[in-house]
Structures are given as C-alpha cells and as structure tokens.
Amino acid sequence: MRRTEITPDRLLGEVRAFYDPTRWRFLTVNATDTGAELLIDWIFVPIGRDEEPVILSSCVAYQAPLPSLAALIPASALGEAEMCDLLGVAFEGAKPGLFLEPDAPRAPLLKTPRERDDD
C-alpha cells in the first residue's frame, strides 16, 4: 500500500486537486490506532480501471480535530461518523451514535478504550 502523507490542513486542497468523481471513487476513510497515535487513511479507487488506489494519510494525535470531506464528497460523511463512533476520531461535524448506543463503551476499537464521561 502506497500512501501520500499529508497534514490534515492540506486535505481539502489535495483532494480538490485530483478528485474527479467520474474517474475516482471515494472508497472510505479508515483510522487505525497505532498505539501512540491515530493513522488516518482517505482511500480513493479508480473507476473502471485496475490501477493503484490513491491513499492520503495523516498521523494525528488522539482527538485531534480533523476536517470533513462531506461538503465535497457526500458519501464520506458515513465513514467519518463510523470512525468517530468506533475510534473517537474528531471529524468536523461527526457525532457518535451511528452504530453504538449511548450506554455502549466509548471508542471500543482504540487499544485503550476511553472511559465514559459519566462513568
């Protein structure tokens, strides 16, 4: 997997520079807890061609605010909400609750799941 590392503040500019929805499909945004920080991948795949995907990556601190792609790519909102729910990623405008009930463990896919505020 070949990644292009970016800083979160460059995300929207980088995406605008290459993203043509008739040539690229936004596959998903993924987050991985590396143990020290979160690895965020925004994955784009070519439509109708067997070519390498474009993966924009950023390593960020837990709970660091991240921009949303939803205004540019409506389908990204769901992935951002899922990462907010399961890993506590602070995407702009995303709220927990897509999959988890209010009384469920918070950010359960983190290596050290967060304490609930009301615990």
Contacting positions for other proteins (CB under 8 A): 1, 21-22, 25-28, 30, 32-33, 43, 45-50, 53, 73-75, 77-79, 86, 97-100, 108-109
Measured distance between the N- and C-terminal CA atoms of the chain, rounded to whole angstroms: 40
Question: Cβ of residue 81: shortest distance to other proteins, in angstroms?
Answer: 9
Are the C-beta atoms of 63 and 90 separated by less than 8 Å?
A: yes
Q: Which of 93, 97 has the CB closer to other proteins?
A: 97
Q: Can you read off the two tokens belonging to residue 37? A: 């920080």
Q: Which of 8, 53 has the CB closer to other proteins?
A: 53
101, exposed or middle or buried, with CB in 10 Å at 0-12, 13-18, 19+?
exposed
Q: Which of 74, 93 has the CB closer to other proteins?
A: 74
Question: Cβ of residue 89: shortest distance to other proteins, in angstroms?
Answer: 13
H-helix segments, 35-109: 76-87
The dihedrals phi and psi of 18, each to the nearest 5 degrees, come to -120, -20
Question: Cβ of residue 24: shortest distance to other proteins, in angstroms?
Answer: 9
